Amino acid sequence: MNPWLATLQWYVDQGVDEAIADTPWDRFATPAAAAPANVAKAPVVPQSTQSPAGQTPTGQAPAAQPSTAPPSLGPRPPPRALMPAAQPAPIPADLAAAEDLAALRTLLDQYEGCALKATATNTVFGAGPANANLMIIGEAPGEEEDRQGEPFVGASGQLLDRMLAAIGLERAGVYITNTIYWRPPGNRTPTPAEIQACLPFLRRQIALIQPQILLLVGGAAAKTMLQRTEGIMRLRGRWFEYETGEDAPSIPALATFHPAYLLRSPAQKREAWRDLQALQNRLIDSNS
């Protein structure tokens, strides 16, 4: 891989994936006194307080000193294989103890294992009847969902409503949620770590609702819930079994295109329509 791309990827893997100022600041070129007012300066540790080994009294490495040295790219990141693995999110409280959706929501509100919570306006837990036959799982809340705290209320939600109506379903009759509960900044794709941090809650949510059928819209939902590596182009239109991992039986799951993708690629609506008809037939069969 191009070394610049590799470096950027390394930053993203470390969680450095968000801009904190409106304009870029070249820390190598800027003398300390000219640092932008909105960027906190690292405290200067007097030389005399440092141990001979260059450590502060707390045993931590000293804070970086402002430098007027000529620009430098700094040390290259270590090869990926030598990098420390990302810290797994703290294991949530015993989710099996949540006996209904309200109790699960309370546990989610107490959960701090997904950093997206800090930047989101609202938690988008899910919406719909707790005994719905059909549960739809999307990717991640967008801007409007974040504002309202409800899944699929923006442009792609309106298309999802029309897709449901086309097979005689009302949004109010299905349960809708996402693979993650908080909007990623700038609507970026959620990272695998963010998805894994939310997954125990989503699995418990499915176990509580016990839908007859899961509709997985988009690659993120399909790959996560089916534990598959193929893209949505290969997964869509096919029936899989979602393994509950509990004594409960597996749940039939259909993957299809995400409405946001259909808005960008209307030619794919024909395939999506086939998927919807397959879903309708399966729902009729399972209720007859």
- Contact predicate 10/51, CB 8 Å: no
- Minimum distance from CB of 26 to ligand URA (Å)? 36
Q: How far is residue 184's CA from residue 178's CA, in Å, rounded to a whole number?
A: 12
123 binds ligand URA (CB under 6 A): no
Closer CB to ligand URA, residue 142 or residue 211?
142
- Interface residue with ligand URA among 111, 126, 135, 139 (CB under 6 A) is 139
Cβ atoms 140, 179 nearer than 8 A: yes
Smallest distance, ligand URA to C-beta of residue 11, A: 25
Q: Which is nearer to ligand URA, 139 or 194 (CB)?
A: 139
Q: Are strands 175-178 and 251-256 parallel, antiparallel or unpaired?
A: unpaired
What is the number of residues in the chain? 288
- From the list 141, 184, 190, 200, which residue makes contact with ligand URA (rule: CB under 6 A)? 141
C-beta closer to ligand URA: residue 92 or 154: 154
Q: Residue 66 and residue 44: Cα distance in Å, rounded? A: 9
Of 244-283, binders to ligand URA (CB under 6 A) are: 260
CA distance 136 to 211: 10
Could you tell me the two tokens for 287? 């209720």
Please, what is the minimum distance in Å from the beta carbon of residue 5 to ligand URA? 27
End-to-end CA distance of the chain: 55
Shortest spacing between CB 215 and ligand URA, in angstroms: 12
- Residue 177 pairs in a beta bridge with 137
Residue closer to ligand URA (CB basis): 159 or 283: 159
Task: Pick the binder of ligand URA from 104, 115, 132, 140 (CB under 6 A).
Answer: 140
Using CB positions, name the residue nearest to ligand URA: 138
Interface positions, 202-241, toward ligand URA (CB under 6 A):
none
Contact call for residue 178 and ligand URA (CB under 6 A): yes
Site residue total, ligand URA (CB under 6 A): 13
Among 152, 181, 182, 242, binds ligand URA (CB under 6 A): 152
Tell me the three state secondary structure of residue 106.
helix
Radius of gyration of the chain (CA): 23
Number of H helices, E strands in the chain: 10, 5
Edge-to-edge strands, sheet with 213-217: 175-178, 134-138, 213-217, 251-256, 239-242
Nearer to ligand URA, 140 or 202 (CB): 140
Binding site for ligand URA (CB under 6 A): 138-142, 145, 151-152, 154, 156-157, 178, 260
